[in-house]
Amino acid sequence: MPATIKDIREATGLSLATISKYLNGGNVLPKNREKIDEAVKRLHYRPNEIARGLVTNRTKTIGVMVYNIASIFNGTMLSTIGKELRRQGYAMLICDSAGDTEMEHSNVQFLLNKKVDGIIVIPTERNGDFLQPARDAGVPIVIVDRAVDGSEEDCVTINNKEAAEEAVNTLICAGHRKIAVICSEREYTGSRRLLGYLEAMKQNGLEIPEEYVKTGSQTVSYGYQSMRELLALPEPPTAVFMANYDINFGVVMAVNESDFSCPEDISLFGFDDLLLPRIMSPKLYVMKQPMEELGLKSVELLLERIGSKEPMPPRQIVLKATMMKGDSIRTIG
């Protein structure tokens, strides 16, 4: 039978109040701390987290919701968040929304039923209504990567619009005038990066043919199909800006299957320095997101809010993407 707090009392001669105080993070006399530590080790005592949660109203569990667990971006974020939560003494409960807004609503309720102490979410869409049950329950929330409309939660994003402008301006400086974009308007990141593309083209007085703007989903399949359509145009673009990592993959697949070569026939500029830019030849130009910092900052904000006894205003953290140069852009003229 597992050891209990009463067994520690018998082993140490200390009161249940003193032992409970120490096991729940309180301060006790050094000599009593030593006695309790020795008894815990000798008796192989393990705290009953369910019972502790009923007393402290804390389960030391954080819910983490992602829009698609199969995405390399989400997998990388989960790895960083999970490591930091474990370092801070918390467990992570993962929910995959699979790009489904109804599933997203269900996942929030599931996490609330599990009595999580807080929720970190990379949302599917820009509508944040699915978070309302958590707001009503007073459960702290941090939104990562994709902001939602009308949100009053802490949020950690990057400078999406400015990063996209920098990418497109790099293509323009290389002499490109016929530049297409493949992105999504459904999510915050895609819409902001599209805005950056449009702004860079406008500031440089460049015309944007309607068929050069591909706005669908941030998926490999959409990137693939869109690139095939661009390459089949009577006047295909000389360069393409790809607004997320999955789109990068689809575009490269389409180019590899075509009679076009990169960068001789088509120049490419993508987003996210994950696996593809390191194995693709020629090396892909990308805007690199500070992945680790995004994950660490989201945990930091959430745990600060969980531990705060006073109301805190919403905090908006905007991190900066950096350009990783490659060989996928040809200079024209």
Segment 187-228, tens digit of pLDDT: 889 999 999 999 999 999 999 999 999 999 889 999 999 999
User: What CATH code is assigned to 61-157+291-318?
Assistant: 3.40.50.2300
Least confident of 89-93, 102-106, 125-129: 125-129
Band (pLDDT 50/70/90 cuts) for residue 53 is low
CATH 2.30.30.40 given to domain 160-289: no
61-157+291-318 with 160-289: one CATH topology? yes
Residue 10 burial (10 A CB sphere; 0-12, 13-18, 19+): exposed
pLDDT at 80: 96
* pLDDT tens-digit series, residues 261-276: 999 999 999 998 877 6
pLDDT at 51: 53
pLDDT at 247: 93
For residue 107, CA distances in Å to 70, 86, 240, 315 come to 17, 22, 36, 24
H helices of 24-151, in order, are: 30-43, 49-56, 72-87, 101-113, 132-136
In this structure, the strands spanning 179-183 and 322-324 are unpaired
Alpha carbon distance 256, 148 (integer Å): 36
pLDDT at 55 over 80: no
Close Cβ partners of 172 (under 8 Å, ≥ 6 residues apart): 179, 200, 204, 206
pLDDT at 49: 55
Alpha carbon distance 287, 156 (integer Å): 17
Band (pLDDT 50/70/90 cuts) for residue 38 is confident
Tell me how far the alpha carbon of residue 320 is from its chain's centroid.
Answer: 14
pLDDT at 58 over 90: no
Band (pLDDT 50/70/90 cuts) for residue 281 is confident
> Domains of the chain: which residue ranges?
5-47, 61-157+291-318, 160-289
Q: How far separated are the first and last CA of the chain, in Å rounded? A: 79
Tokens representing 61 are 């569990």
pLDDT at 310: 85
pLDDT at 177: 97
Name the more confident of 281 and 102: 102
pLDDT at 21 over 90: no
Radius of gyration of the chain from Cα atoms?
25
CA quadruple 100, 273, 314, 190: dihedral, nearest 10: -50
pLDDT at 24 over 90: no
Could you give phi then psi for residue 318, rounded to 5 degrees? -115, 115
pLDDT at 241 over 80: yes
Alpha carbon distance 178, 147 (integer Å): 31
Least confident of 43-47, 78-82, 93-97: 43-47
pLDDT at 96: 95
pLDDT at 299 over 80: yes
